[in-house]
Chain A
Amino acid sequence: STSATNEKTNMLLMSVWSCFFGQDEEDGTEMGEGDEWMQGKTLIKPLDQLDLTEAELKEEFTRILTANNPHAPQNIVRYSFKERSYKPISSVDQLAVHFVLEGNLLHQDSDEARRQRAKQGGEDAGDVEEGGGEERADSVESKVGKKEQKITNQFNFSERASQTLNNPLRERGCQTEPPPRANFSATANQWEIYDVYLEVLQKQEKNKEKAKAVPKKDDDKGKKKMMLVETQSDDITKVAKVAKIIERMVNQNTFDDIAQDFKYFEDASDEYREQEGTLLPLWKFQYDKAKRLSVTALCWNESYKDLFAVGLGSYDFTKQGRGMLVFYSLKNSTFPEYIYPTTSGILCLDIHKHLPYLVAVGFYDGCVAVYNLKEETLQPIYKSTAKSGKHTDPVWQVKWQKDDMDNNHNFFSVSSDGRVVSWTLVKNELVFTDIIKLSLAGAVSEGPEGVQLPIMACGTSFDFHKQIDYLFLVGTEEGKIHKCSKAYSSQFLETYNAHNMAVDAVKWNHFHTKVFISCSSDWTVKIWDHTIKTPMFTFDLNASVGDVAWSPYSSTVFAAVTTDGKVHTFDLSINKYEAICQQPVVAKKKTKLTHIEFNPVYPIIIVGDDRGYVTSLKLSPNLRKKPKEKKGQELPKGPEVEIAKMEKLLSLLREPENSNA
């Protein structure tokens, strides 16, 4: 404010001076006495006025008005113990107190006021009560006064409370029976998952089949029956398969040494015996119920190399009774795998090469039958009857053939009634076709009414050529062997005067296509080349020969069994005149050996006798010799070798034979 006035004064002065003396106020010239009366007022410059230049006079000074107290200190510092230094205080009190006056008013409700009031009131009425009562009177007075002046709540608040009855608490519960629990635990392995998938797959397939198949009434009934049977049956039947395995295991243990021999034993002493070999007895197969029957047929199964079939019956004309078809496995020699009792004695059997469950059987009463091993029943699935062309005489041999053009299975049979018949399995029937009738050449008999009937020869054995399908040989009771063809039904291609008695067996060689062997009750075994009418080899075995068989591994090895209980094994490449092994095989001398078969794979043979036993024997190494090649050359393998071997022998024979003949 003072600075403003200064400025105003300055301006005024300057304006006054300028109007009178132009711009020369700086001069400050003194006014003469003459000009005094022109000017009413005269400005007097104070003596201590600052002399400023015009520029300095015109200078503007800025003054800012603030509310700050100019007397307030601006740089108070306080010591801060935290930071251990002096710190300026940020805010300073700007309050400037100009005037303070203490008043002497009291609020009427304050303590002091009350006291004073009380004092005044007490002095007025204090004469009545004195001394100690004064205080009490004061207090009473104050109370009374207070009562009268009770302070009430602004809102007239009143509190009311009441308590209701609390219901007594009671606990009630009920318990149910816990649901039945079962602990379930399972593992999820890869194979368990696989099993489940398989089950589902099987179910699906079953459903598909059911959808496709037309249900027959019989089948339905049958199924119902089967179902009933299953539910009634004991748990035991489910163990059947396992029990079989166990039985085989137990047998393996019991006959452990035999099993080891079968697998591994090679008679070392054969090296010292130049040419001879031996037969090592292995298992012996017998069945209780077959004791009085004799083995009439043996056949190995082509697919299951340890399974073979035994046909049981009787060769004795007077003692004809029942028969049996029994299957054994090498794995269990104590009990047969399959047993089929038959009403008539079996004389021959053959297992189909490709279908190991089909078995063709020929009976003594002339019937032929086909069994299916897969079926649960003990009856054959096909059986020929009198109406359907069964033979009128015992059937001596049956043989499966290749499926015909309609893919039906068929087999041939030969019988003493002189017929070679072909049987075809057509759906539910067994259809027969006469292939050839064996008529005795030249012999004619007088029939009724003078008609001349050809006498039939009795066929006792036959064999089909391995390669040439239509070619087969038939041996007859008269001792002749006829070479026949399936195509020609009335004529033979060739006839060989083979033996003096019935031809018991005729077999083609497995390798050489021209060679066959025949044996007879006339004690001889003869080997033939079918192009030549006389035998190549003849062997006399000193006893009626029951059966002869070529070995499957060599074209020059064959074995024959005789009624004196011996097995004769020959190897023509080693010894052309004698057997390299002649061994009695059965214990009791009176036992006649009836049949012999080589196992297609293992070096064992089975021999059947007339007491119902089948003995298995292992061939020693000498009996299984392969041709030795010269050193340095590779051992050729395969059937060609065998054929060549035989051919060599035969060629040796032919020349001397030509000279002999």
Chain B
Amino acid sequence: IATFLGRKLQPRPQNEVEETLKRIQGQKGVQGIIIVNAEGIPIKTTLDNSSTVQYAGLIHQLVMKARSTVRDIDPQNDLTFLRVRSKKNEIMIAPDKDYFLIVIQNPSD
């Protein structure tokens, strides 16, 4: 009789997220990653302090506005991600319920 193997054995590794972030950082042209919590305070970053604070503050407002816009139109909808492409680089923002992740990439590098 085949056994129903226990669920608790070997759950997914906890550091999956860490690895994902490392991979992102290692991608071509990625300049920095910032993780910001719901209040706009950066909790993890690969950039220097002043840039981080600046990005976090400005982008936080932008994301709130964008999300509010999407949800006002349809409350069942929600913002998945936001890309801001500029001349020099691209800022990608993926918001979550409590956090959001900002990645700055220069795709042509």
- Which residues of A line the B interface, CB within 8 A? 189-191, 193-195, 222, 225, 233, 235-247, 249-251, 253-254, 256, 334-335, 375-385, 387-388, 428-430
Task: Report the separation of the CA atoms of residues A442 and B71 in the bound assembly, to the nearest whole angstrom.
Answer: 73
- Minimum CB–CB distance from A556 to chain B (whole Å) comes to 41
Q: Please pick, from A194, A239, A375, A430, the residue contacting B2 in the complex, using a CB distance under 8 A.
A: A430
8 contacts between A and B (CB under 8 A): A191-B75, A193-B75, A242-B99, A246-B101, A249-B92, A378-B10, A381-B4, A387-B1
Given contacts A249-B94, A250-B105, A387-B1, contact A237 B75 (CB under 8 A): no
Contact residue among A225, A240, A256 (Cβ-Cβ distance under 8 Å from B20): A240
B99 A239 Cβ-Cβ under 8 A: yes
Q: When A190-B72, A253-B29 are in contact, do A239 and B35 touch as well, CB less than 8 Å?
A: yes
Give Cα distance in the complex from A240 to B13, angstroms. Answer: 12
**When the two chains form the complex, which single residue of A194, A225, A247, A383 contacts B5, counting CB atoms closer than 8 Å?**
A383
Closest CB in chain B relative to A624 CB, distance in Å:
30
Number of A-B contacts (CB under 8 A): 131
Q: Does B88 contact A (CB under 8 A)?
A: no
Chief secondary structure at chain B's binding surface: mixed
A247 to B16, CA, bound (A): 13
Q: Is the CB of A250 within 8 A of B27?
A: yes
Q: Which 7 A-B pairs have the closest CB atoms?
A: A191-B71, A428-B4, A430-B2, A191-B75, A194-B75, A253-B107, A245-B94
The A-contacting residues of B in range 40-91, CB under 8 angstroms, are 43-44, 68, 71-72, 75-76, 80-81, 83, 90
Q: DSSP class of A's interface residues: helix, strand, loop or mixed?
A: helix
A388 / chain B contacts, CB cutoff of 8 Å: 1-2
With A190-B75, A250-B92, A254-B27 already in contact, the answer to whether A239 and B17 are too (CB < 8 A) is yes
Within 8 A of A (CB), among B1-22: 1-5, 7-12, 14, 16-18, 20-21
B14:A384 contact, CB within 8 angstroms: no
Contact between chains at B9 and A243 (CB < 8 Å)? no
In whole angstroms, what is the CA distance A194 to B74 when docked? 10
Q: Contacts A242-B100, A243-B21, A250-B92 known; A377 to B71 CB distance under 8 Å? A: no
B30 to chain A, nearest CB (A): 6
Residues of A within 8 A of B71 (CB): 189-191
Whether B14 pairs with A222 at a CB distance below 8 angstroms is: no
> With the chains together, A388 CA to B2 CA distance in Å?
6
A430 to B98, CA, bound (A): 42
Do the beta carbons of A247 and B72 come within 8 Å of each other?
Answer: no
Q: How far is the CA of A253 from the CA of B106 in the complex (A)?
A: 9
Task: Determine if B75 and A243 form an interchain contact, defined as CB atoms under 8 angstroms apart.
Answer: no
With both beta carbons as reference points, the residue of chain A lying nearest to B43 in the complex is identified as: A235
